[in-house]
Amino acid sequence: MTDRPGPPPDHRKPDLAKGVFPKRIFHGRRKGHRLRSRRQALLETYLPKIGITLPAPGTGFDPKTVFSKGPPEVWLEIGFGGGEHLVHQARAHPNTGFIGCEPYVNGVASLVRAIDDQGITNIRIYPDDVRDLFDHLATASIARVYLLFPDPWPKTRHHKRRLVNAANLDSLARLMEDGAEFWFATDHGGYCRWTLAHLLRHPEFDWLAESPRDWRRPSGAPATRYETKSAKAGRGSTYLRFRRRPRGASAGPQSDMLPHGLTGPDKG
Ligand SMILES: C[S@@+](CC[C@H](N)C(=O)[O-])C[C@H]1O[C@@H](n2cnc3c(N)ncnc32)[C@H](O)[C@@H]1O
């Protein structure tokens, strides 16, 4: 007889079709300082109107349906922080629907306040872990994805927490439309190399860089709050843009574009 515990009775392999979802741990802050009363009130009264509630396990939804006018395209920002970039883009592209995803409640409160103050109608918020949203978004339903300055998790033992990993890229490849762009930015050299290596190995993405200018923030895109702080501290930032290949296109991964010594990182 052994005293080693077996798996818990409800331990099952994730199978999205059967509604068995991966058990996820969110590594990050959910709450900061106490919210001022107006922000708290807006979270209670306004967020329910513009927040996304996920459907039942195993069910998908078309993100266009969460907007009253059914926009021609929906763009997604993952980890919007205080929402400044998202607000800028939503104002610049009033006919596009935007979904912002952020588990940090103080950031969500800042965005809700900006939406209310500025009368913005084309933003919806998922105030939680984007990986849960991935499970439900319909295939080929998102026309652009921003992942700007995600937590770099610099220690090797924490690399598996990075949002850029094989599983999340597979999710993005599924939910992005053919030709949709994925924008990534970081001030961390290691995370930049990691992301390039992951995307170049992935069969569904092409890197769009053609000249050194393409590593910089594209014109018309504002610096995010994190980027501004990082620049003040003397750090430079890199932008990477990728395109989701048309479904059925037969080209292989771009691994031959990997810079010397970057043979592909982890299995994460
Ligand atoms: C370094 S901050 C950058 C915020 C903002 N993009 C900027 O540039 O100012 C990274 C953000 O990603 C969010 N984040 C981390 N894990 C996430 C997840 N699983 N889903 C959605 N957002 C996440 C964090 O809460 C945090 O606000």
Cβ < 6 Å from ligand 1: which residues?
Answer: 26, 28, 78-81, 101-104, 107, 129-131, 148-151, 224-227
Q: Which amino acid is at 55?
A: P
80 within some domain: yes
31 within some domain: no
pLDDT by 10-residue block (mean), the chain, 268 residues: 39 56 82 90 93 92 95 98 97 98 96 97 97 96 98 96 97 98 97 97 94 87 95 96 90 62 44
Separation CA 22–CA 264 (nearest Å): 25
CATH at residue 233: 3.40.50.150
150 within some domain: yes
Nearest CA to ligand 1 atom 4: 81
Domains held by the chain: number = 1
* CA 64 to centroid of ligand 1, rounded, Å: 23
Q: Which helix (H) or strand (E) holds 126?
A: strand 123-126
Structure-token match 């919210």, residue found? 35
Q: Which amino acid is at 84?
A: E
Specify the 3-state DSSP secondary structure of 111. Answer: helix
DSSP letters, 144-161, are EEEEES-----SGGGGGG
Residue 160 tokens, joined = 């598996």
Whether 132 is a known active-site residue: answer no
* CA 180 to centroid of ligand 1, rounded, Å: 21
Phi then psi for residue 217, to 5 deg, are -60, 130
69 within some domain: yes
Query: Please, is 138 exposed, middle or buried when counting C-beta atoms within 10 Å of its C-beta (0-12, 13-18, 19+)?
Result: middle
* CA 235 to centroid of ligand 1, rounded, Å: 19
* CA 126 to centroid of ligand 1, rounded, Å: 13
Ligand 1 mutation pick, 104, 145, 230, 239, max ligand atoms within 8 A of CB:
104
Determine which one of 3, 15, 116, 151 is catalytic.
Answer: 151
194 within some domain: yes
Atom of ligand 1 at shortest range from CA of 147: 6
Atom of ligand 1 at shortest range from CA of 227: 8
Residue 57: per-residue pLDDT: 85
Residue 265: per-residue pLDDT: 42
9 within some domain: no
What is the extent of the structural domain holding 136?
37-257
Atom of ligand 1 at shortest range from CA of 226: 9
- The answer to whether the pTM exceeds 0.85 is yes
The 123-126 sheet, strands edge to edge? 123-126, 97-101, 74-78, 142-148, 176-186, 238-244, 205-207
Residue 142: per-residue pLDDT: 98
Contacts of residues 21-24 at CB distance under 8 Å and 24 or more positions apart, as own/partner, are 21/57, 21/132, 21/135, 22/131, 24/129, 24/131, 24/132
Atom of ligand 1 at shortest range from CA of 84: 9
Nearest CA to ligand 1 atom 14: 79
Q: Rg of the chain's alpha carbons, rounded to an integer?
A: 19
Strands 238-244 and 176-186: antiparallel
Count of residues making up the chain = 268
17 within some domain: no
* CA 30 to centroid of ligand 1, rounded, Å: 10
Q: Cβ(135)–Cβ(109) under 8 Å?
A: no
29 within some domain: no
Residue 189: per-residue pLDDT: 96
Query: Please, is 83 exposed, middle or buried when counting C-beta atoms within 10 Å of its C-beta (0-12, 13-18, 19+)?
Result: buried
